[in-house]
Amino acid sequence: MLRCTRCGKAYPETFRLRCDCGETLLVEREGYDFFGSLLPYLDIRRYLNFLPIGGNYLPPAIPAITPTTSVQAGPVFALFKLEYLQPSGSFKDRGTFVTVAKLMEEDINEVVLDSSGNAALSLALYSLPAGIKAHLFVSYDTMPEKLSLLQSLGAVIHFVEGDRMAVHEKAEEFAEREGLTYVSHWLNPYFLEGTKTAAFEVYEQVGVPDYVLVPTGSGTLFLGLWKGFKELEKMGEIARLPVFVAVQAAGYESLCERSKLPNPLADGIAIPQPPRLKEMERVLDETGGLCVSVDEHETREALSWLKRAGFLVEPTSAVVLAAMWKLIERGEISDGSRVLLPLTGSGLKLIEGI
Amino acid sequence: MLRCTRCGKAYPETFRLRCDCGETLLVEREGYDFFGSLLPYLDIRRYLNFLPIGGNYLPPAIPAITPTTSVQAGPVFALFKLEYLQPSGSFKDRGTFVTVAKLMEEDINEVVLDSSGNAALSLALYSLPAGIKAHLFVSYDTMPEKLSLLQSLGAVIHFVEGDRMAVHEKAEEFAEREGLTYVSHWLNPYFLEGTKTAAFEVYEQVGVPDYVLVPTGSGTLFLGLWKGFKELEKMGEIARLPVFVAVQAAGYESLCERSKLPNPLADGIAIPQPPRLKEMERVLDETGGLCVSVDEHETREALSWLKRAGFLVEPTSAVVLAAMWKLIERGEISDGSRVLLPLTGSGLKLIEGI
């Protein structure tokens, strides 16, 4: 079922973004045995038993199980998870895969999303074979190459004047006015069901890390990873959650104090008012976590380090490494810790910039 | 050990490209139990026991196990293997991973390669963290974006006047003159050890396909897949090999009859005189296979179909789908067959072109 994150009201598992009270929803499911429920696949279908979809209507571009690789980084072990090795080049495909499967089951074939970035590319790529028409709301400063790719994938582009929050509002208004399904990944509980599978993989690959550092704007990966580890705890697999660290872009912080000078490199997390903010605050409380803000210079340095280590990622992905360095310097991560650093987006589409 | 593909002479497992007789080499290992030898990883390390490397010196960018997804395509089942979901955006990372691990074990820190494409990008990406200096020989018409990426990864670029075969010759000459290790993926037996792991994955994921269609220039994936299935046969896991179909680019055929009009889209396989040609002919003989040539128009159509199915790949990857359509039309693939189509290279780096 779906359950409200504020008032606790329950709903059946249909496609829905909000509780009647206006607050966000999470999928809730009961009592599994983790290893007994794994399916014999070597891709995301391995975790189908934990997902709120039937499995009869799956998009053809199946997300991969991404490698998790341990690299000694000063006094700690960095566990890089190569989340960018997905069909559209980012971790968003996990969430999109589950969302589109759900939409297909409910026979919904026209949807609205706001995002000029990875979520839009992911939805466009998965919508086309599913026969779903995607209206994508974007700002005027979206890269022309990205727009032409989105259009060639059959998406309908709607331009909006204003900042990221204005684009979000316009998309929701349009969906309401036209009677279409708004699939905002900021709100969509099925999206988090997809991203939670990354935690299941980490657990199978390396057990429970001590820290999880996540690029955090709207929180789709932050909350997904938290939900995955939380379910493992409920299943009795793990005794404690990792400490969650939200890593944010300077100038766009929602959990850390807002910086004056914005970080123009971390566009993937430049979301100053995420709707799931309270949920994220609760995760920081629950796990004894904290928020770290990263500026342009720090992002650039981390990006360069990652490239030299063999990881071709986009700038937003680099903030977690910069944050880890800060925490080590401040003495806030103890020696020998195992620190999960999901690398969220591919650098290949930005070959000139990296 | 290494064994000559012509005279059968054996060599120890050090880095070596050719037999004293001048012919190519393959790695030969004895008697494993397949499932008993798998390691509990969900990435290429799962197959470390089948690889001629110790495992103490592994590059940090670990190749993924790529999803294999079944799509009904007319009267057959296309099994798309998403080989482009790798750190440098192509299946080459499998071969490079094993090669660089071997070079690290032997303390070789300066190497020479010719390729202006995916193999070069892969080697540059894996060499940098391994502390290996890579000399890359390329032709003058290599894309400037690719060159600047290769340079930013620390590779030394050498430009050569002439066609692909001329670049190959110059690279080998340079390596000999300078006393450096030439690591040609066309010749390197360790490269095939990496690409063979794709066959192991396919076997675990979907069993033995009826047909395997492979983009075939120098044959690094064609022979790797063959070697993987061949080892499974020797281990008693499978009773027969799939039928191998070499798919080649019009104008550059080595196994099919040479076409007059060249296919400019399939640059990844534009290799008219591959050194392992005889080995490939033997695979076609052994499995009752054949060669199919694909032209520009057919490549374009298949590429467009793939994009609409959710697979963002580079043009060379599309030739296998075009070839499958041809074989169906000619009645050379029977209804209900399961046809493996490895999708070899990412389309993300070519966003404007696809």
Per-residue pLDDT, averaged over A279-285, amounts to 98
To the nearest whole Å, the CA of A13 is away from the closest chain B CA by 26
Tell me: the pLDDT tens digits for A124-167?
999 999 999 999 999 888 877 778 888 889 999 999 998 888 99
Q: Which residue of A has its CA nearest to B306?
A: A129
- For CATH 3.40.50.1100, the residue range(s) in chain B are 68-91+190-350, 92-189
Instruction: Tell me whether residues A67 and B63 touch, CB distance under 8 A.
Output: yes
- Cβ-based contacts of B346 with chain A (< 8 Å): 89, 348
Name the amino acid, one letter, at A244. Answer: F
Instruction: Choose from A85, A99, A300 for mutation: most chain B CBs within 10 A.
Output: A85
Name the amino acid, one letter, at A117. Answer: G
Token duo for residue A158: 């709607």
Low-confidence ranges of chain B (pLDDT < 50): 350-354
Residue B35: which H helix or E strand, with range? helix B34-37
To the nearest whole Å, the CA of A108 is away from the closest chain B CA by 18
Q: Which residue of B has its CA nearest to A309?
A: B129
B59, B154, B310 ranked by CB distance to A129: nearest: B310
Per-residue pLDDT, averaged over A269-283, amounts to 96
Per-residue pLDDT, averaged over A289-309, amounts to 97
Low-confidence winner among A39-53, A192-206, B262-276 (lowest mean pLDDT): B262-276
To the nearest whole Å, the CA of A80 is away from the closest chain B CA by 9
pLDDT at A146: 78
B64, B128, B309 ranked by CB distance to A67: nearest: B64
First-to-last CA distance in chain B? 43
Instruction: Tell me whether residues A205 and B41 touch, CB distance under 8 A.
Output: yes
- For CATH 3.40.50.1100, the residue range(s) in chain A are 68-90+190-350, 92-186
Q: Where are the alpha helices (DSSP H) in A163-313?
A: 164-178, 189-195, 197-206, 220-234, 277-287, 296-308
First-to-last CA distance in chain A? 43
Instruction: Tell me whether residues A61 and B82 touch, CB distance under 8 A.
Output: yes
Complex ipTM above 0.90?
A: yes
A42, A89, A148 ranked by CB distance to B204: nearest: A42
- Cα–Cα dist B126/B149, whole Å: 13
| Res A260 pLDDT > 60 | yes
> How far is the CA of B46 from the CAs of A39, A66, B204, in angstroms?
18, 13, 11
Cβ-Cβ pairs closer than 8 A, A with B, add up to 138
- Cα–Cα dist B301/B281, whole Å: 28
Q: Which residue of B has its CA nearest to A90?
A: B85
- Cβ-based contacts of A145 with chain B (< 8 Å): 351-352
What percentage of chain B exceeds 70 in pLDDT?
Answer: 98
pLDDT at A149: 84
Residues 6+ apart with CB under 8 A from B219: B186, B246, B274, B276, B277, B279, B280
Instruction: Tell me whether residues B67 and A148 touch, CB distance under 8 A.
Output: no
Instruction: Tell me whether residues B41 and A146 touch, CB distance under 8 A.
Output: no
CATH number of B92-189: 3.40.50.1100
Q: What are the strands, taking DSSP E only, across chain B?
A: 2-4, 10-11, 25-27, 68-73, 76-81, 110-114, 133-139, 156-160, 181-182, 211-215, 243-249, 290-294, 338-342
| More confidently predicted of A1 and A349 | A1
Give me the CATH topology for the region A92-186: Rossmann fold (3.40.50)
Q: Which residue of A has its CA nearest to B350?
A: A349
Q: Are strands A211-215 and A243-249 parallel, antiparallel or unpaired?
A: parallel
Backbone angle region of B15, left / alpha / beta, with phi > 0 → left and psi within -120 to 50 → alpha: beta
- Cα–Cα dist B53/A73, whole Å: 24
Token duo for residue A96: 């999109």
DSSP lists the bridge partners of residue A231 as none
- Cα–Cα dist A298/A295, whole Å: 5
- Cβ-based contacts of A91 with chain B (< 8 Å): none
Residue A114: which H helix or E strand, with range? strand A110-114
To the nearest whole Å, the CA of A257 is away from the closest chain B CA by 35
pLDDT at B351: 42
Cα torsion angle, B213, B217, B223, B225, sign = negative
pLDDT at A34: 96
* Level-2 CATH architecture, domain B68-91+190-350: 3-Layer(aba) Sandwich (3.40)
- Cα–Cα dist B346/A125, whole Å: 14
Banded model confidence at residue A31, pLDDT cuts 50, 70, 90? low
Torsion angle, CA of A102/A104/A108/A114, rounded to 10 degrees? 60
- Cβ-based contacts of B201 with chain A (< 8 Å): 42
To the nearest whole Å, the CA of A144 is away from the closest chain B CA by 10
Residues 6+ apart with CB under 8 A from A189: A2, A16, A17, A24, A25, A26, A27
DSSP reduced 3-state for A79: strand
Q: Are strands B211-215 and B243-249 parallel, antiparallel or unpaired?
A: parallel
Token duo for residue B174: 């340079």
- Cβ-based contacts of A82 with chain B (< 8 Å): 61-62, 64, 87
pLDDT at B31: 67
Rg (CA), chain B: 19
Instruction: Tell me whether residues B146 and A351 touch, CB distance under 8 A.
Output: yes
- Report residue A54: phi and psi, to 5°: -80, -30
Token duo for residue B185: 């993926």
- Cβ-based contacts of A310 with chain B (< 8 Å): 59-61, 87, 125-126, 128-129
pLDDT at A119: 95
Give me the CATH topology for the region A68-90+190-350: Rossmann fold (3.40.50)
